[in-house]
Amino acid sequence: MRDATAGDPISGLKWSHKALRKLRRVLRRRYRISSPTISRLLRKDHYSLRVNRKRLAGHQCPGRDQQFVYIARYRNAYLRRGWAVISVDSKKRELVGPFKNAGRAWRQSPRDVNMYDFRSDALGVALLYGVYDVGRNRGYMGVGISHDTAEFAVATIRAWWFEEGRHDHGQHRHLLIEADCGGSNGNRNRRWRVLLQEFADETGLIVTVTHYPTGGSKWNLIEHRMFNEISANWAAQPLDSYETVLKYVRTTTTSTGFRCRARLDPKPYQTGVKVSRKDMAGLHIRPHKIFPHWNYTIYPRTLSTKN
């Protein structure tokens, strides 16, 4: 085991890159030994099968911990008042067609899928943008067919508001959006802010946005309260049509009461839309004193920022 052994010199925990059958093949030259016996002896010496762990965060941006505390403080303050709090993000895009989907499912026989995940063999691409209502433990998923843009993100938030949000939170004028730091809802995405301004103007909502710092997306509530539940629901199920995607999203439930709605958005969204300085100057936006690049409030243009 020496040449294939790695481990922690402090705790003495060890692991090997060799499989049991390879070890048995080497040991058979001198001993009569079976694979179960090798496994038992390895465990006796503190060997076990290990996988890689994502624990190295690399360089951390300044103010990372303080921003997490700020987000939690704002979220709790909104929830205490009964105001709407949503966590938003884009889920991994999915090829629509008979392609392999990770996971296992109980079947009498396996399903045959394509050997290769070629985009040319797909019916299309399912672009998934989610809205998770933190206070109500409810999800809403927009399923797009073109591009994951700021327009698509805000269109999904708008659809959530008019289909669900205003019925549950319509008596209040405040909305808190927790978002990642990049992508279609990134803190540097000008188009995201312009479209949120239009959304605030249309609905009369005072929209506050708090962004998770770079590398902090895994702490976004939507990741482990919504996205992972959807992935578990369609595990090992080929997403062979858009209707199949919608069906599995809509039937995702949990024992804690989570439910999810889904909407197909067939609109083609364009990439590379430029935002002028005039558009940015017209925003009715107030950056917060703490990390203004991550935290800001957008007011309807008919409403004073003092309200």
Of 135, 19, 122, 227, whose CA–CA distance to 235 is shortest? 227
E strand map for the chain: 5-7, 14-16, 84-96, 124-133, 138-144, 174-179, 206-211, 259-265, 285-287, 295-298
On whether the 64-298 domain is CATH 1.10.4190.10, my answer is no
94: β partners: 126
Measure the CA angle with vertex 216, ends 214 and 144; round to 5°: 90
Contact 259, 225 (CB under 8 A): no
Q: What is the pLDDT along the chain (307 residues), one digit of tens a residue?
A: 665 666 666 666 666 667 888 788 888 888 888 989 989 988 898 888 877 877 766 667 788 899 999 999 999 999 999 999 999 999 999 999 999 999 888 888 889 999 999 999 999 999 999 999 999 999 999 999 999 999 999 999 999 999 999 999 989 999 999 999 999 999 999 999 999 999 999 999 999 999 999 888 889 999 999 999 999 999 999 999 999 999 999 999 999 999 999 999 999 999 999 999 999 999 999 999 999 999 999 999 986 555 4
Domain ranges of the chain: 2-44, 64-298
> Residue 200 burial (CB < 10 Å; 0-12/13-18/19+)?
buried
Of 178, 166, 247, whose CA–CA distance to 208 is shortest? 178
Whether this model's pTM surpasses 0.75: yes
Q: Kindly report the length of the chain.
A: 307
Sequence-separated contacts (24+) of 270-276 with Cβ below 8 Å: 270/147, 270/149, 270/151, 271/147, 271/149, 273/149, 273/151, 273/191, 275/190, 275/191, 275/194
Predicted pLDDT at 136: 97
Helix axes 20-27, 35-44, angle to 10 degrees: 100
